[in-house]
C-alpha cells in the first residue's frame, strides 16, 4: 500500500471515529433513615426550583444533574444492599445513662451499682469512646458544698471507669451542683432523683 493510501485510510478512520460520549453524572440521592427506635424527623430536598419533603422512614429522593427531583421508596433491605459498607463504617450511636447516689456522698445506690457494671461493659466494647460525666445534687445544703459534691460524684464515676480499663484522657467530668435538677423542688428538699450523674458516650 502506498504512503498516500495509508494516509487516506488513517484519515478516514479518524474522521469516522466518534468518541464515546462521557458517562452521565450520577444523580444525588437522599434517603431518610429511622433512628434506633424507628422514629424519623424530616428533611427538605430542594433543587431546580422544586421541593420535596421526606418525612417517613426510607422515603427517598433523587436529584438529577438538571435539577429534577424524583421521589423514590427504599426499604431496610435495599438500603443495606446499596449502602452497607457506609453504614458499617459509622461509629456506634451515642448513648446515655443516669446513675444515682446516696445522700450527701459519692457512693452509688445499690441499684445503680448493679446498673453501672453493665454500663462499664457497654463502654468497654466501643473502640474509641468519648465519655462525658456530669454530676448533680439535690438542694439540701449550701450551693458551694453542692458544687463540690457534684464534681466529686462525676470524678468517682470516672475513677470506676478508669479501673475498668478505660483511658482517662477520654473521660471529661463536670459538676453542676443543684442548678440543673431532674425534679424541681424547694430549697432544702431531699430528692433522690436529683442526686445523680449523667454519663454520655459517643
User: Does one domain contain both 28 and 78?
Assistant: yes
Rounded distance between C-alpha atoms, residue 148 and residue 137, angstroms: 10
Residue 13 has pLDDT above 60, yes or no: no
pLDDT the model gives residue 194: 98
User: Does one domain contain both 108 and 42?
Assistant: no
User: Does one domain contain both 81 and 111?
Assistant: no
User: Does one domain contain both 52 and 107?
Assistant: no
Mean per-residue pLDDT for 85-91? 82
Q: Is residue 5 one of the residues assigned to a domain?
A: no
Q: Is residue 11 one of the residues assigned to a domain?
A: no
User: Does one domain contain both 77 and 112?
Assistant: no
Report the share of the chain in percent with pLDDT over 90: 48
Q: What does each C-alpha distance from 82 to 73, 88, 112, 119 come to in angstroms?
A: 13, 12, 42, 33
pLDDT the model gives residue 19: 63
Q: Is residue 7 one of the residues assigned to a domain?
A: no
User: Does one domain contain both 35 and 115?
Assistant: no
Give first-to-last CA distance, the chain, whole Å: 75
User: Does one domain contain both 118 and 82?
Assistant: no
Range of the domain at 150: 95-201
Q: Is residue 13 one of the residues assigned to a domain?
A: no
Of 48, 71, 89, the domain-final residue: 89
Kindly state the cell numbers that stand for 116: 453501672
Ranges 38-52, 74-88, 94-108, most confident? 94-108
User: Does one domain contain both 49 and 135?
Assistant: no
What is the pTM (predicted TM-score) of this model? 0.65
User: Does one domain contain both 130 and 188?
Assistant: yes
Q: Is residue 70 one of the residues assigned to a domain?
A: yes
Residues in the chain: 202
Mean pLDDT value across the chain: 87
Residue 172: band (very low, low, confident or very high) from pLDDT cuts 50, 70, 90: very high
Residue 82: band (very low, low, confident or very high) from pLDDT cuts 50, 70, 90: confident
Q: What does each C-alpha distance from 150 to 106, 114, 166, 178, 201 come to in angstroms?
A: 8, 21, 21, 8, 19
Q: Which residue has the higher pLDDT, 172 or 47?
A: 172
Q: Is residue 9 one of the residues assigned to a domain?
A: no
User: Does one domain contain both 196 and 167?
Assistant: yes
Q: Is residue 146 one of the residues assigned to a domain?
A: yes
Number of domains in the chain: 2
The CATH number assigned to the domain holding 163 equals 3.30.1330.60
pLDDT the model gives residue 10: 53
* Tens of pLDDT, residues 23-76: 666 778 899 888 877 888 888 989 888 888 888 889 998 888 888 888 889 998
Rounded distance between C-alpha atoms, residue 124 and residue 155, angstroms: 18
User: Does one domain contain both 116 and 193?
Assistant: yes
Q: Is residue 132 one of the residues assigned to a domain?
A: yes
Q: Which residue has the higher pLDDT, 89 or 169?
A: 169
Residues with Cβ < 8 Å from 141, sequence gap 6 or more? 104, 149
Backbone angles phi, psi at 70, to 5 degrees: -120, 125
Amino acid at each position: 500500500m502506498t504512503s498516500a493510501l495509508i494516509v487516506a485510510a488513517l484519515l478516514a478512520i479518524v474522521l469516522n471515529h466518534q468518541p464515546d460520549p462521557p458517562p452521565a453524572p450520577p444523580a444525588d440521592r437522599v434517603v431518610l433513615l429511622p433512628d434506633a427506635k424507628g422514629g424519623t424527623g424530616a428533611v427538605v430536598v430542594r433543587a431546580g426550583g422544586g421541593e420535596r419533603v421526606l418525612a417517613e422512614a426510607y422515603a427517598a429522593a433523587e436529584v438529577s444533574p438538571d435539577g429534577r427531583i424524583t421521589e423514590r421508596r427504599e426499604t431496610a433491605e435495599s438500603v443495606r444492599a446499596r449502602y452497607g459498607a457506609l453504614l458499617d463504617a459509622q461509629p456506634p450511636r451515642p448513648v446515655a445513662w443516669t446513675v444515682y447516689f446516696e445522700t450527701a456522698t459519692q457512693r452509688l445506690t445499690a441499684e445503680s451499682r448493679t446498673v453501672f457494671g453493665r454500663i462499664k461493659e457497654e463502654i468497654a466494647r466501643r473502640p474509641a469512646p468519648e465519655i462525658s460525666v456530669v454530676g448533680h445534687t439535690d438542694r439540701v445544703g449550701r450551693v458551694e458544698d453542692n458544687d463540690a459534691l457534684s464534681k466529686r460524684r462525676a470524678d468517682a464515676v470516672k475513677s470506676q471507669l478508669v479501673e475498668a480499663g478505660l483511658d482517662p484522657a477520654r473521660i471529661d467530668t463536670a459538676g453542676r451542683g443543684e442548678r440543673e435538677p431532674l425534679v424541681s423542688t424547694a430549697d432544702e428538699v431531699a430528692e433522690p432523683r436529683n442526686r445523680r450523674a449523667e454519663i454520655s458516650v459517643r
